[in-house]
Copies of this chain bind each other. A is one copy, B any other.
Amino acid sequence: MPLPVSPLAPPSYPDLPPIAGVRFATAEAGIKYKNRTDVLLCAFDEGTVVAGVLTRSKCPSAAVDWCRARLGTGRARGLLVNSGNANAFTGLKGRSAVEESAAYAAAALGCSPDEVFLASTGVIGEPLEAQKFAGVTADMAGRLSGGPWLDAARAIMTTDTFPKVATATVEFDGVPVSISGIAKGSGMIAPDMATMLSFVFTDAPIAAGVLQGLLQPLIDTSFNAITVDSDTSTSDTCLVFATGKAPTAPIVEAGDPRAAVFAAALGDVLHELALLTVRDGEGATKLVTVTVTGAESDRSAVRIAQSIANSPLVKTAIAGEDANWGRVVMAVGKAGEPADRDRLSIAFGDITVAENGERAAGYDEAAASAYMKNQELEIRVGLGLGAGAGTVYTCDLTHAYISINGDYRS
């Protein structure tokens, strides 16, 4: 019984070009789901570097542990991802399972297991039967190709209702460099240093250390700026693979002016993937941008924005198309960050609903209610204290979220 596709799904998908040095295949390994792909195997040409950001959960999955131990090398030849089982909280069995999984992938790809990165998403606490990969990895290795990327995005979905892809191209000295990424995620989304799962591929020639340095701040304004339900996954993983196949001089230091150009494009891809994840938030019918300005610091602004974006009362009001700005006041008040009630202003879109600590003089309930019927909403809060600003993206909280999570064992 598939879930209906989110009303916030994009009407169409961009064409993602093949990335030189990256080939992949998908398969049905029968991890949990029936009649759908659930494994993705990627092969990277020699010389590919990797950077990544992983969940800060104190209960990370075995795959996260595996990646964390290997990111330091900066070298990657393969990526094996499965959906249906997170291999999280699986103890020694989980550690054996990642070793076996990497071995199967390495044998199929002809590389060392230490050059294989792993990610798993799905049910927590159920041992992952790694031998199920044995039946499909060799076959997948024989079918590797440069596309279509939508197939890769579909193989890693769990409660997602649509595949998530994004792409960007920059030019270095007239040479085009491509960045393409995929992501999955729908519930248990309040990433803390990464999302559920996202993989980005580029043919840029760039040193692993430079790539890692670029990635972290971009995560803060993309995956770390979204929330569906305030719940942070055990499996959050964002990995960026750079094959270096674009025929242009390599970026070997952060000060290279091309690094900033590349970072901007990479940031666009990550931001788009993060927003697609909110658009597929479990039960979502509204995409909400919460922007806080005038805070004592950027960090404080983000925390207040998170307090608003995670508030069940704010999110249910949005679901009900109720311009209930009193709940925004509540969420500002509970955030534990500096705020002065009597300087606070709140706007829904361009409609100022409150200012100077009370309802705006010209407040028009009918206009505010009409605004709430939009599918994409902005909540803007001004604190009037300083120059700190931050934005968090969220969705509404609907009956469908309850239905999905009262039944689905994820």
Footprint of B on A, CB under 8 Å? 55-60, 86, 88-94, 123-127, 187-188, 190, 192, 229-234, 310-313, 316-317, 319-320, 322, 324-327, 329-342, 344, 354, 356-359, 397-399, 401-403, 405-407, 409-410
By a CB distance below 8 angstroms, the chain B residues around A410 are 313, 324, 326-327
Question: Are B93 and A312 within 8 A (Cβ)?
Answer: no
Complex A-B: 29 CB contacts under 8 Å: A57-B333, A58-B332, A58-B334, A59-B341, A59-B344, A86-B326, A89-B341, A89-B354, A90-B359, A91-B356, A124-B326, A124-B327, A125-B325, A190-B334, A229-B313, A230-B312, A231-B331, A231-B334, A232-B334, A233-B330, A234-B329, A312-B405, A313-B405, A320-B406, A324-B410, A397-B402, A399-B403, A401-B402, A402-B402
Report the Cα distance A88→B187, complex, angstroms: 33
By a CB distance below 8 angstroms, the chain B residues around A405 are 312-313, 316-317, 320
Q: Which of B59, B93, B319 meets A333, CB within 8 Å?
A: B59
Not counting A125-B354, A317-B405, a sample of 4 additional A-B residue pairs whose C-beta atoms are within 8 angstroms of each other reads A58-B334, A124-B330, A229-B312, A402-B402
Question: Are B125 and A234 within 8 A (Cβ)?
Answer: no
Closest residue of B by beta carbon distance from A316: B405
Q: How many copies does the complex hold?
A: 2
By a CB distance below 8 angstroms, the chain B residues around A359 are 89-90, 125-127
Q: How far is the CB of A405 from the nearest CB of chain B, in Å?
A: 4
Interface of A is mostly: loop
Closest residue of B by beta carbon distance from A335: B58
Closest residue of B by beta carbon distance from A124: B326
By a CB distance below 8 angstroms, the chain B residues around A59 are 329-330, 332-333, 339, 341, 344
Closest residue of B by beta carbon distance from A331: B231
Question: Are A329 and B125 within 8 A (Cβ)?
Answer: yes
Of the candidates A60, A341, A407, A410, the one having the most CB atoms from chain B within 10 angstroms of its own CB is A341
Ranked 4 nearest A-B pairs via Cβ: A124-B326, A91-B358, A320-B406, A59-B333
Report the Cα distance A60→B86, complex, angstroms: 43
Closest residue of B by beta carbon distance from A283: B402
Report the Cα distance A388→B18, complex, angstroms: 54
By a CB distance below 8 angstroms, the chain B residues around A354 are 89, 125
Question: Are B124 and A319 within 8 A (Cβ)?
Answer: no
Q: How far is the CB of A407 from the nearest CB of chain B, in Å?
A: 6
Closest residue of B by beta carbon distance from A356: B91
Question: Are A88 and B326 within 8 A (Cβ)?
Answer: yes
